[in-house]
Amino acid sequence: MPVQKVLSDSRVPVKIWSREVDEQAQRQLRHTGNLPFVFKWVAVMPDVHAGKGSTIGSVIATRGAIVPACVGVDLGCGMSAVRTTLLPEMLHDQLPVLRSFIEAAVPTGASMHRDDTKLCTLDETDLGILVNGAGAIESRCNLDGTSAKVLRGLSKFPTQLGTLGSGNHFIEVCISKKDQVWVMLHSGSRGVGNLIAQHHIEVARGLMKKMFIELPDLDLSYLVEKTREYDDYMNDMLWAQEFARLNRKVMMRSVLDQMRRLFPFQTGETIDCHHNYVSMEHHYGENVLVTRKGAVRAREGDLGIIPGSMGTRSYIVRGRGNPESFHSCSHGAGRRMSRTQARQLFTEKDLAEQTAGVECRKDLAVVDEIPGAYKSIDEVMANQADLVEPVEELKQVLCVKGT
């Protein structure tokens, strides 16, 4: 389906793959489109909704500057999925036991591991990326004496490795339409990524004030290329993205280990993709920085993961390489109401009804993640038919929420 909505009253157009966009999100998108360094246009995915700093579901290509708040605070947040040789009929009687095993093995919410032994599960290359990168950041922080938040985060990363976090982060066991069992999880860079992001967002705000640059929204404060502040952010942010990737890798290994306590099986293809991140890419003849906040890269042939809510279905997709979206697609169904609104509107009974057939928590603490708080995944997928092609449709039978 072609672009359905274009906002043309900002410096660059805003192209939106959705019929409905709330007023707050439209205002955020117009402000973003007015920034002087945005390249071509802002591309907006069908799971669009207003967010802190910038709109969730936005893809922003820039030249010469970057907006830390547009990248967000969960640097490198994304998805991982693994296909297994398990037969679906083997699962059902064991799902409550399996959920208890996973919940005991993988810390959720603000919890961490008791020690740093998860580092030992990494190969030499991955361990070097984390330890050497963290050491370099720590040395810089000690040298400039201005990054206490980052230092606090770095001190905890070894025990946060392989943990889920909170909010909409999850671990799921799913069955595909081909009767194959998949394991899927959603997580990011945990507390260390959050503190890194917060520090650099504050730095950007301070620079705007120092340079007398007035913005309609302070969350659009930016860092300019070839400055120390820009280089520091890029270095720290890219390390956090790697931490997020390895966090998912270690966590997936833990989940599979728990499953092997109950079943013998092999694993097949593994898919991993960020959906809150920055990368240098080539679009329309130029090298640009692409910020995806709630969006997945979908170059032609790329495999990606688009989860629905905890009671609907998710998709493994193949990118079509649409240039107008800067080779991107949605990162999920997208919220249609805030967490506060969901808690006010829905009850535990509603949650139980909307997650019937799924082994998961059904208490008040997870009511804000009820399927009714999310957009229709069917509509989201229809709106991006020109961005991706579905290759697997997955229905969850077990869900561990990060609360």
Token output for 193: 């990524």
Paired with 66 in beta bridges are 223
CB 108 within 8 Å of CB 164: yes
Token output for 199: 């520090």
Alpha-carbon span 112 to 110, nearest angstrom: 7
SS3 213: coil
CB 55 within 8 Å of CB 240: no
Write the DSSP symbol of residue 336.
Answer: S
Alpha-carbon span 322 to 329, nearest angstrom: 9
Alpha-carbon span 183 to 252, nearest angstrom: 8
Alpha-carbon span 84 to 80, nearest angstrom: 13
Alpha-carbon span 375 to 379, nearest angstrom: 8
Alpha-carbon span 71 to 91, nearest angstrom: 38
CA atoms within 13 A on the CB side of 360: 33
**CB-neighbour burial class of residue 53 (10 A; exposed 0-12, middle 13-18, buried 19+):** buried
Query: Does residue 331 carry a catalytic annotation?
Result: yes
Write the DSSP symbol of residue 335.
Answer: B
Tell me which of 200, 274, 275, 331 is the catalytic residue. Answer: 331
> Would you please indicate which residues are annotated as catalytic (active-site) residues?
331
